[in-house]
C-alpha cells in the first residue's frame, strides 16, 4: 500500500498543528530582519521593536475582543493554560479550589489534578454537564478560585456553550475567575463574542498558522495572577523574559487572517468533513462511530474541521501505521503508556466503551485541505482497515 516515491502528503492533523500561513511567514520574516533589538530597551532600535510589538498586541487584541493591555504573549497554549490555572490558585484569597471538566486538555487537566481540584462530568457529546457544574459550585460554598472549561475540545471538536457556562459560574461562584482554553476554537467560533464574559482566555499560534512557540493569554483588566516566570517586568509583570517580536507579529497576522476567513472556512470545511465521515461510513458501514455524535448522529455541535471517529474491530496504532505508510497523516485520541495503548481520557469521560475507543482516529482539516485530500483519505483508511481485517482473519 505504500505510496510511490514523491506522492503528495495528505495532511489530516490540523488540530495538532496547521501549516504556516503565508501572511504569518511574511510577518515573521519582516519583523525578524528589521527588529533585532530588545524591545524593553531605550535606544532607537529598541523603541522601534517595541512599536512593532505593540502593533502586534493591538491586532491580537482586536481579533480576540480584548484591550491591548489585556494581552499577555506566551510560548503557546500550554503555558497560557498553566498561567491561568496555577496563577489563579497562587493569588486568590477567596478560594483555594480549581474546577474543570473531565474532558479537558492535559494543560488544564494536569495542574487542576495536581492542586487537588474538582472534575465535572461531561455528557456523551463531550460537553460539560451544566447541572453537574452547578452542583459542584454550590457544594464548594465559595471556595472556588478558578473554573476552566474548554471552548472546543481538541480531540472530539465538541463546542461548549460558553455563555451558558458563564451564567452558571457567575451565579454560583461569583468570586471565581472564569477561564477557557480556546486553543482549538479560533478556527471555528467567534472567540471575541463567545468569551466576552470570561476573565482568562488561552490561544496559541500554531493552530491558526503561525510558528510553534507563540501564544496569548487574555487576562482581563483587574485580574491578578501569580506569574509562572519571574525575573523581569515584561508583559506588565505577568511574564518575565525578552519578548519575541517576530513571533508576536506572525501570531497576530495568522490570527487576524483566520478571523477574517472563518465564516467561509467553516462552511467549506464542514462539507469536506461530512464527506469524509460519510465516505468512511459508506465503505465500512456501522463500524464507524462518530465519537461525539453517538445519540442521534447530529453533528451541529462539532467543529467543522474535526472528525473523531472510532472504527470497531481495529486498533488505531496499527491503522495509523498503515495510513502513514500510504501518505495520510492523522492522529489517535489516545496515548501510549508503557508500551500499551490506553484510550483517551476524553472518550472515557464521554462513556465510549474501551474496546471501541481503542479504534479511535482524529481526522482534522484546515486551511490547506481540499476535496481530493478527503477522497484519497477515504480510500486509504478503508483499504487499511480491510488489510487489518485480513491479517486478523489469518
CATH code at 22-257? 3.40.640.10
Rounded Cα gap, residues 185 and 70, in angstroms: 19
Question: What are the residue boundaries of the structural domains of the chain, listed by start?
Answer: 10-19+262-392, 22-257
pLDDT for residue 142: 84
179: nearest Cα among 204, 156, 159, 162:
162
Catalytic residues: 336
151, β-bridge pairs:
none
Dig out the grid coordinates for 326 from the structure. 500510504
pLDDT for residue 93: 62
CATH code at 10-19+262-392? 3.90.1150.10
Q: Which of 361-394 are b and which e, b meaning 16 or more Cβ less than 10 Å from the residue's Cβ? A: bbbbbbbebeeebbebbbebbbebbeebeeeeee
Kind and range of the H or E element at 215?
Answer: strand 215-219
Q: Contact at 8 Å (CB) between 227 and 237?
A: yes
DSSP 159-194: BP-HHHHHHHHHHH-TTSEEEEE-TTTTTTS-HHHH
Q: Contact at 8 Å (CB) between 245 and 53?
A: yes
Q: Contact at 8 Å (CB) between 356 and 263?
A: no
Q: Do domains 10-19+262-392 and 22-257 have the same CATH topology?
A: no
Rounded Cα gap, residues 263 and 269, in angstroms: 10
Rounded average pLDDT per 10-residue block, the chain, 394 residues: 60 97 98 96 96 98 98 98 96 82 97 97 96 96 94 96 98 96 98 97 98 97 94 93 97 98 98 97 93 78 96 94 96 54 85 92 97 98 95 66
Rounded Cα gap, residues 206 and 82, in angstroms: 18
pLDDT for residue 6: 55
Rounded to a whole number, what is the distance in angstroms from the first to the last CA of the chain?
Answer: 19
Amino acid at each position: 500500500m505504500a505510496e510511490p516515491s514523491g506522492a503528495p502528503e495528505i495532511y489530516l492533523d490540523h488540530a495538532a498543528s496547521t501549516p504556516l500561513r503565508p501572511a504569518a511567514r511574511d510577518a515573521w520574516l519582516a519583523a525578524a530582519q528589521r527588529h533585532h533589538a530588545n524591545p524593553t530597551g531605550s535606544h532607537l532600535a529598541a523603541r522601534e521593536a517595541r512599536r512593532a510589538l505593540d502593533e502586534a498586541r493591538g491586532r491580537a487584541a482586536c481579533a480576540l475582543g480584548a484591550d491591548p493591555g489585556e494581552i499577555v504573549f506566551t510560548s503557546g497554549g500550554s503555558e497560557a493554560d498553566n498561567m491561568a490555572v496555577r496563577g489563579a490558585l497562587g493569588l486568590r484569597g477567596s478560594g483555594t479550589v480549581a474546577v474543570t471538566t473531565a474532558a479537558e486538555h492535559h494543560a488544564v487537566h494536569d495542574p487542576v489534578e495536581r492542586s487537588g481540584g474538582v472534575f465535572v462530568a461531561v455528557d456523551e457529546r463531550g460537553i460539560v454537564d451544566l447541572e453537574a457544574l452547578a452542583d459542584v459550585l454550590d457544594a464548594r460554598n465559595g471556595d472556588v478560585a478558578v473554573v476552566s472549561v474548554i471552548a472546543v475540545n481538541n480531540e472530539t471538536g465538541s463546542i461548549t456553550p460558553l455563555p451558558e457556562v458563564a451564567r452558571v459560574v457567575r451565579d454560583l461562584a461569583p468570586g471565581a475567575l472564569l477561564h477557557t482554553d480556546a486553543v482549538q476554537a479560533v478556527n471555528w467560533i467567534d472567540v471575541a463574542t463567545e468569551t466576552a464574559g470570561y476573565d482568562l482566555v488561552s490561544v496559541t499560534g500554531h493552530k491558526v498558522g503561525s510558528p510553534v512557540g507563540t501564544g496569548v493569554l487574555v487576562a482581563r483588566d483587574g485580574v491578578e495572577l501569580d506569574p509562572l516566570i519571574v525575573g523581569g517586568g515584561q508583559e506588565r509583570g505577568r511574564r518575565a523574559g525578552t519578548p519575541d517580536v517576530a513571533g508576536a507579529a506572525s501570531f497576530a497576522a495568522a490570527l487576524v487572517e483566520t478571523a477574517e476567513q472563518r465564516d467561509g472556512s467553516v462552511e467549506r470545511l464542514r462539507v469536506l468533513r461530512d464527506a469524509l465521515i460519510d465516505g468512511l461510513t459508506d465503505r465500512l458501514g456501522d463500524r464507524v462511530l462518530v465519537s461525539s455524535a453517538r445519540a442521534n448522529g447530529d453533528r451541529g455541535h462539532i467543529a467543522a474541521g474535526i472528525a473523531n471517529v472510532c472504527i470497531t474491530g481495529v486498533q488505531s496504532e496499527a491503522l495509523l501505521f498503515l495510513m502513514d505508510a500510504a501518505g495520510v497523516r492523522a492522529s489517535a485520541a489516545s496515548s501510549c503508556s508503557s508500551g500499551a495503548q490506553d484510550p483517551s481520557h476524553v472518550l472515557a469521560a464521554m462513556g465510549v466503551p474501551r474496546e471501541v475507543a481503542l479504534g479511535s482516529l482524529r481526522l482534522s482539516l484546515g486551511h490547506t485541505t481540499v476535496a481530493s485530500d478527503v477522497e484519497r483519505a477515504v480510500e486509504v483508511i478503508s483499504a487499511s482497515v480491510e488489510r487489518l481485517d485480513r491479517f486478523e482473519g489469518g
